Amino acid sequence: MINRGKHNLLGILVDAVDYEAAVERILDAARERRGAAVSALAVHGVMTGALDPTHRYRLNCFDLIVPDGQPVRWALNAIYGTRLNDRVYGPELTLRVCQRAAEEQVPVFFYGSTQPVLDRMQGNLLKRFPTLQIAGMEASKFRRLTQSEAMELSTRIRESGAGMVFAGLGCPRQETWAYEFRDLVSMPILAVGAAFPFIAGELRQAPPRLQRIGMEWFFRLCTEPKRLWRRYALLNPAYVALVLMQCARLRTFDTHGLMPESTMLFG
């Protein structure tokens, strides 16, 4: 089990952990009925915080941010010598947490995506983990929630009997949601992005070889060019340039950010 603490990567405090340590921290919070915000960040997720001081503040209030992308892991190893052998990939983390939840009889709740994706994901998860208790599922409204809707949603999640929540709202909406709902539901919230459609079989994952060499972004760009081309064309080169500056100590990055003036209540 590797847990080498948080490290400043472009102003975002990323945990140098492996799968085992991440899963254990999440289950500890679930056992203790303690609110905890967790996210798996790749390059895009790190850059959303690096470029937006308000979102940086949210991310740096998270209990656990794992290095989802290989370039994030490489940067931690290069700058801090963390010696991480593997990334902590959001879809794989989701499956490992669900396996432990099934073994320990911790009910789970899924929030986000669409109802067809949730239904297919539920079927696939129960095939893999027949004892997994799914306390509830709700699709995203794809808009900001009203204050009353947010309170009603948090009540439904708490009263469902769930011990943890998986949020699949897309980055950075899901991180904002986790930041705002963590204390409302008093249980761990995992912002896991594309894990929902991947597990549902709606999206194809990159071949393992491309994942290992950090080229998953290229595979996703080829499968969803209209949606993703701006993200990768602009953010990937910016990330590389900023990491090189941090490695060379040509630039330092503030981790404080700006406290949000109001809630966003995405759903």
User: What's residue 212's pLDDT?
Assistant: 83
- CA-CA-CA-CA torsion sign (241, 77, 215, 113): negative
pLDDT tens, 15-62? 999 999 999 999 999 999 999 999 999 999 999 999 999 999 999 999
In a domain, 212, yes or no: no
**For residue 160, is it within any domain?**
yes
Domain tally, the chain? 1
pLDDT digit string, tens, across residues 195-216: 999 999 987 877 888 778 878 8
SS3 189: strand
Question: Which has the higher per-residue pLDDT, 40 or 220?
Answer: 40
Burial class (CB in 10 A: 0-12, 13-18, 19+), 237: exposed
In a domain, 113, yes or no: yes
> What CA–CA distance (Å, rounded) separates 229 from 239?
15
What is the per-residue pLDDT for 267?
A: 67
- Provide the domain limits for residue 54: 3-200
Q: Could you tell me if residue 130 is inside a domain? A: yes
- 149 in a domain, yes or no? yes
Q: What distance, in Å, lies between the first and last C-alpha atoms of the chain?
A: 34
Task: Assess if residue 227 is contained within a domain.
Answer: no
- Is 239 among the domain residues? no
Q: Which residue has the higher pLDDT, 140 or 216?
A: 140
Asked if the structure places residue 256 within a domain, the reply is no
